[in-house]
């Protein structure tokens, strides 16, 4: 039996068979279904052919293989996750930091399939522009921007997970092509991704139409900007990161002001500082949960920048959420949360969440002394906002009747907290007790304003009170401000495939894993000394190449953290 691998048979002829109907709810564009049994020379003759394969790029990104890896690669090794109910062996071994090259989650084919489809669009679309007068130059440029950004997003997942990866920018279009390519260094790929998206961002579509769901589930110019902000954050170019964050934030402010002028009485969004965010509860309500319900329940919310769409799509479900987090038939998924994230938050004794924080009630639930993930599982939530006395409030959670939760890749608060991180780093090193310069103080205040807005929304704090975050409590050192941002990212983006990548970025920046280890280690109940040693090297931040890829591609060299005396026997 032939092993599937990126170096064999990523064939263009097969693309129409791989399913582009998975996004059929996303208006006309995503209703295009690729035809079967296409002969290559008869294909790529009209605009519909281009749109068909471009649609299939999204369809593949929506596959359970891709979404499960977004969660496993981006979150599972962090302090946010532990075993749940009936956890499969591959997940159990990762949670034990026993990651082998034979583990299924070291396979990356699903992301390279998206990349190959994007490469195919980029290769053939210009030829269609030459022969189909209906496929205009502006549509060609927008298509190139969309495919280039999707490809960059996929490579971004790969380099954050594996560090060095084969970087391929041309399609496989016949069986004779064998991709045996050496892995390109992380920094080289990162620079290429930045250059690619910078080169096309101005051609990306600003809007697919007022109130169109495509503005959330297809790449727009704001999606390009969000990705560029993230790429620059990893590069350590703080000023460029801030620039692109501001472009996204300013657009959201403009959208809010426009909606406010039309009808302020119907808005569920309000300003926290200068930032427009969906309120957890209306000002005259004793119940919270509205922000969760709009963002994760209804989906495609005001705050969304780019998310994968399932909610109105009855042909493809998001089965990963049901399996990993839970469903209407089984509230307990294969992945759970450590008890320290949830326990006694309602009593004010939790190190992560204050008793007023809505997010611990929205993100998690406790059953039989285990904590399970409820983010994405619940379609709506509601609970009393008063949590200052007695036990935890009862959360009225409406579990989805079917597995059609959207999967969010970028949203506004993520961008705000990227901006906060960049501002802290731009201030430079500040030792505790050092008097801040005016410039450093401004950078810290800019960072704090982003964090404070996100925190106030979650805690229903519309005006300054004694219970709000206090700037002077954190503006004493760089590490204190870094932890403020990192902790808020953990609370806000919990279980969204972000936390491990945040810790990797921290460790890369410091050239040391000590702070990452201090955050991750408490979730382990045994073998903590061995795990501390195992996590101590920079190499271990990344995953091993799968054994099948090593067999297929002689130019790949295994990550040193995963080399063993038995490695050669695999060949």
In order of their start, the domains of the chain are: 12-220 (1.25.40.390), 414-524 (1.25.40.900)
Query: In the chain, how long is the greatest CA-to-CA distance?
Result: 71
What is the C-alpha separation between 534 and 275, in angstroms, rounded? 42
Q: Which residues of 540-570 are buried (b: 16+ CB within 10 A; e: fewer)?
A: bbbbbbbbbbbebbeebebbebbeeeeeeee
pLDDT at residue 1 in the model: 27
pLDDT at 330: 75
For residue 99, CA distances in Å to 171, 534, 541, 562 come to 31, 11, 11, 8
Q: How far is CA 217 from CA 49, 248, 284, 406, 458, in A?
A: 20, 16, 33, 9, 25
pLDDT at 3: 30
How far apart CA 78 and CA 116 sit, in angstroms, is 30
Say which residue the tokens 């300003």 belong to.
271
Alpha-carbon span 366 to 340, nearest angstrom: 12
Q: Read off the tokens for 13.
A: 């002829």
**Tokens coding 537:** 């090297």
- The pLDDT, as a whole number, for residue 563 is 85
**Token pair of 522, please?**
């408490």
Spatial distance between the Cα atoms of 24 and 58, rounded to a whole number of angstroms: 11
Q: Please measure the distance between the N-terminal and C-terminal CA atoms of the chain and give it in whole angstroms.
A: 16
pLDDT score for 331: 75
Which residues of the chain fall below pLDDT 70? 1-41, 173-179, 312-315, 386-391, 432-433, 463-468, 565-571
How many Å apart are CA 382 and CA 394, to the nearest integer? 9
Say which residues have a Cβ less than 8 Å from residue 67's Cβ, sequence separation at least 6.
308, 318, 320, 407
d(CA 504, CA 161): 9
**Residues 278-301: b if buried by 16+ CB within 10 A, e if exposed:** bbbbeeeeebbbbbbbbbbbebbb
CB 23 within 8 A of CB 30: yes
**Residue 16 in contact with residue 39, Cβ under 8 Å?**
no
B/e letters for 396-421, b = 16+ CB within 10 Å, e = fewer, are ebeebeebbbbbbbbbbbbbbbbbbb
pLDDT at 7 (0 to 100): 36
Helix, strand, coil percentages for the chain (3-state, nearest 5): 50, 10, 40
Task: Give me the pLDDT at residue 389, please.
Answer: 55
**Predicted pLDDT of residue 327:** 85
Structure tokens at 72: 């496993």
pLDDT at 29: 47
pLDDT at 430: 74
pTM of the complete model: 0.92
Cα separation of 550 and 570, whole Å? 9
Distance CA 378, CA 293 (A): 8
CA angle (341 as vertex; 337, 345 as ends), nearest 5? 135
Q: What is d(CA 134, CA 546) in angstroms, rounded to the nearest whole number?
A: 44
Distance, in Å, from the CA atom of 255 to the CA atom of 276, rounded to the nearest integer, reads 9
Which pLDDT does position 467 carry in this prediction?
Answer: 55
Instruction: Identify which of 15, 25, 6 has the alpha carbon closest to the alpha carbon of residue 315.
Output: 25
């Amino acid at each position: 039996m032939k092993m599937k691998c990126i170096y064999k048979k990523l064939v263009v002829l097969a693309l129409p068979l791989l399913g582009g109907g998975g996004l059929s709810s996303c208006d006309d564009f995503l209703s295009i279904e690729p035809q079967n049994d296409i002969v290559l020379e008869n294909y790529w003759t009209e605009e519909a052919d281009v749109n068909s394969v471009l649609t299939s790029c999204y369809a593949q990104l929506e596959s359970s293989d891709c979404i499960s890896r977004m969660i496993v690669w981006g979150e599972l090794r962090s302090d946010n996750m532990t075993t749940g109910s009936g956890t499969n062996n591959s997940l159990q071994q990762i949670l034990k930091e026993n990651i082998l090259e034979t583990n299924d989650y070291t396979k990356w084919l699903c992301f390279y399939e998206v990349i190959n489809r994007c490469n195919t669009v980029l290769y053939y679309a210009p030829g269609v522009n030459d022969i189909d007068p209906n496929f205009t130059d502006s549509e060609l440029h927008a298509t190139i921007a969309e495919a280039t950004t999707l490809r960059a997003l996929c490579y971004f997942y790969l380099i954050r997970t594996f560090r060095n990866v084969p970087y391929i920018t041309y399609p496989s279009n016949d069986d004779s092509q064998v991709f045996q390519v050496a892995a390109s260094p992380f920094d080289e790929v990162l620079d290429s991704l930045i250059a690619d998206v910078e080169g096309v961002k101005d051609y990306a579509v600003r809007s697919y139409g007022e109130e169109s769901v495509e503005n959330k589930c297809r790449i727009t110019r704001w999606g390009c900007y969000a990705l560029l902000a993230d790429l620059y954050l990893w590069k350590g170019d703080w000023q460029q990161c801030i620039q692109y964050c501001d472009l996204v934030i300013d657009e959201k402010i403009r959208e809010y002001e426009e909606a406010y002028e039309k009808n302020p009485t119907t808005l569920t969004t309000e300003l926290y500082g200068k930032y427009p965010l969906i309120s957890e509860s209306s000002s005259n309500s004793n119940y919270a949960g509205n922000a969760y319900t709009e963002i994760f329940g209804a989906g495609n919310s005001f705050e969304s920048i780019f998310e994968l769409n399932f909610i109105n799509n009855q042909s493809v479900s998001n089965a990963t959420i049901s399996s990993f987090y839970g469903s209407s038939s089984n509230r307990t998924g294969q992945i759970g949360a450590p008890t320290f994230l949830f326990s006694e938050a309602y009593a004010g004794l939790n190190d992560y969440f204050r008793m007023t924080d809505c997010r611990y009630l929205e993100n998690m639930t406790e059953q039989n002394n285990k904590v399970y993930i409820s983010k994405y599982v619940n379609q709506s939530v509601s609970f009393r906002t008063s949590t200052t006395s007695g036990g935890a409030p009862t959360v009225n959670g409406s579990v989805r009747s079917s597995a059609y939760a959207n999967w969010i890749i970028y949203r506004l608060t993520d961008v705000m907290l990227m901006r906060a991180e960049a501002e802290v780093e731009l201030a430079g090193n500040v030792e505790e007790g050092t008097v801040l310069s005016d410039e450093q103080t401004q950078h810290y205040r800019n960072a704090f304003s982003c964090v404070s807005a996100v925190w106030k929304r979650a805690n229903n704090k519309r005006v300054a009170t004694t219970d709000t975050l206090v700037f002077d409590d954190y503006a004493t050192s760089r590490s204190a401000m870094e932890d403020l941002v990192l902790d808020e990212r953990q609370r806000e983006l919990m279980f969204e495939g972000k936390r491990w990548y945040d810790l990797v970025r921290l460790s890369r920046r410091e050239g040391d894993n000590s702070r990452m280890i201090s955050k991750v280690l408490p979730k382990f109940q045994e073998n903590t000394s061995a795990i501390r040693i195992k996590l101590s090297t920079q190499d271990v931040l990344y995953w091993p190449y799968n054994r099948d890829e090593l067999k297929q591609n002689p130019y790949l060299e295994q990550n040193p953290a995963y080399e063993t005396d038995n490695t050669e026997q695999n060949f």
